Amino acid sequence: MNPILETIHLSKLYGNERGLRDISLHIEEGDVYGLLGPNGAGKTTFLKLITGLIRADQGEVHLFGAHIAEQFEQGMQHVGCMIESADFHDFLTAQQYLQLVARFYPNVHGKRIDELLEIVGLHHVRKEKIRGYSTGMKQKLALAAALLPEPKFVILDEPTNGLDIEGTVMFRKVIKQLSDEKGTTFLISSHMIHELEQLCNRVGIIVQGQLKREGYVSDLLQNNQSLEQFYMDELQLGKEGYAHA
């Protein structure tokens, strides 16, 4: 069986020499995969590459077995994503925005929009203009948009930015429910390492554009008190010239 996502020697370098170097990883059906790394390590670049928002210098990306450089629509048809800061038409209401997004997908009805607005806690403000929303409210709306077509694979970039405690709990509940009940696969880039420890079965650590370490959370924690401790130890090893084979 093909993995949901497979990258093969994926590289993208910018003029400042930052970017990604030779990233090969795979994500299987049902995985909740956490992507960790310091600011500027290349996490968002990786997410943009696998969704076709930018082109790789070299390497391949396969989604659901489709090479996205050649079969983009086939690869992306079951993918929902939320990458970088949410950008909206501020003159629309939340309900109107999701209705607009729904037009890009077949068989997304008003009932689904109402259901998601309720799930993310925006149903009571669905008719208010987005320009009046807080950062956290916009994050909730972006999450609703990513989940709108009931995707099999969801890619989330710092999804808890701006969320209050209630919103963070909602996010965790939604991910767990979709993963456990529908087998939805997730790739989550986040600095909220405690959240990833609770949610993810696998994690990868990107440092200076390279995938330094990845594995099952249960295995990585065998000799560590927490995922945070493991992550900090890996960063320290990286500073000392550590390289993972």
Angle at Cα 196 formed by Cα 134 and Cα 83, nearest 5°?
50
| Sheet with 5-13, side-by-side order of all strands | 19-27, 5-13, 58-63, 66-67
What are the φ/ψ torsions at residue 203 (nearest 5 degrees)? -140, 155
- Record the pTM: 0.91
Work out the percent of the chain whose per-residue pLDDT is above 70.
Answer: 95
Q: Summarize the confidence of residues 123-135 as an average pLDDT.
A: 94
Q: Summarize the confidence of residues 67-84 as an average pLDDT.
A: 91
7-28 per-position pLDDT tens digit? 999 999 988 878 899 999 999 9
